[in-house]
């Protein structure tokens, strides 16, 4: 698709959002002994790198990779685990870190999967929320920025694997 990109959320705005998110997360986990932040590859990598450096106390990081695809037998979507976390999450405070929540399918399935392992607590954090696109309800504990249904890239978020390295978030504008 021929397209151009337009800056939508600046580096300064992202930094301010991360400061506010970190303040809430630090307050929430003030009494936690070994917080485990779990990022979903690949989109969350940039956000995770910047967010975890703002979290105080004992923090560990781990990653999971999942792929979501349509299930032809039902209207729902299946999520396959391509790479699991290395940590044993039983009895741990776990915070899932996502760049973007769109239909909600990815976070919903990951949440269900991780809950079966009996963490002490499980919370979700996303930098960007697009509530208009939601197909399944997901309770997200920490939300950075809520945006309308725009096609965005940058700061970890890709379009056909491109643009993850942009330091800001941009809107993709189709050209004819
Ligand atoms: C994107 C994004 C979220 C997910 C959100 O990941 O990073 O993980 O989609 O969509 P959903 O709420 O509709 O499930 P993608 O599957 O493109 O993988 P990537 O992180 O490697 O880009
Ligand atoms: Mn992703
Ligand atoms: Mg992607």
- pLDDT at position 77, please? 72
Asked if residue 89 belongs to a domain, the reply is yes
Please count the structural domains in the chain.
1
Asked if residue 132 belongs to a domain, the reply is yes
Those residues with Cβ within 8 angstroms of residue 13's Cβ, 6 or more apart along the chain or in another chain: 145
Nearest CA to ligand 1 atom 22: 43
Which atom of ligand 1 has the smallest separation from the CA of 79? 14
- pLDDT at position 176, please? 85
Asked if residue 19 belongs to a domain, the reply is yes
How do residues 74-133 score in pLDDT, each as one tens digit?
Answer: 656 788 999 999 999 999 999 999 999 999 999 999 999 999 999 999 999 999 999 999
Q: Is 102 a catalytic residue?
A: yes
- pLDDT at position 75, please? 57
Range of the domain at 17: 3-67+80-174
Q: Which CATH number covers residue 39?
A: 3.40.50.2020
Query: Is 66 near ligand 1, meaning CB less than 6 Å away?
Result: no
Please state, in angstroms and rounded to a whole number, the distance separating the CA atoms of residues 132 and 174: 20
- pLDDT at position 71, please? 65
Which atom of ligand 1 has the smallest separation from the CA of 133? 13
pTM here?
Answer: 0.95
Query: Is 103 near ligand 1, meaning CB less than 6 Å away?
Result: yes
């Amino acid at each position: 698709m021929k397209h151009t990109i337009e800056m939508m959320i600046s580096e300064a705005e992202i930094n301010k959002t991360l400061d506010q998110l970190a303040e809430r997360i630090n307050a929430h986990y003030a009494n936690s002994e070994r917080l485990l932040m779990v990022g979903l590859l690949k989109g969350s990598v940039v956000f995770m790198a910047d967010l975890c450096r703002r979290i105080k106390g004992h923090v560990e990081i781990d990653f999971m990779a999942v792929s979501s695809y349509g299930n032809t037998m039902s209207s729902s979507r299946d999520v396959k685990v391509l790479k699991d976390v290395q940590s044993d999450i039983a009895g741990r405070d776990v915070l899932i870190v996502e760049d973007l929540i769109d239909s909600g399918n990815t976070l919903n399935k990951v949440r269900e999967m991780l809950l079966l392992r009996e963490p002490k607590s499980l919370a979700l954090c996303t930098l960007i929320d697009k509530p208009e696109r939601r197909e399944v309800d997901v309770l997200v504990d920490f939300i950075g920025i809520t945006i309308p249904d725009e096609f965005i890239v940058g700061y970890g978020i890709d379009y056909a694997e491109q643009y993850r390295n942009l330091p800001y978030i941009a809107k993709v504008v189709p050209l004819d």
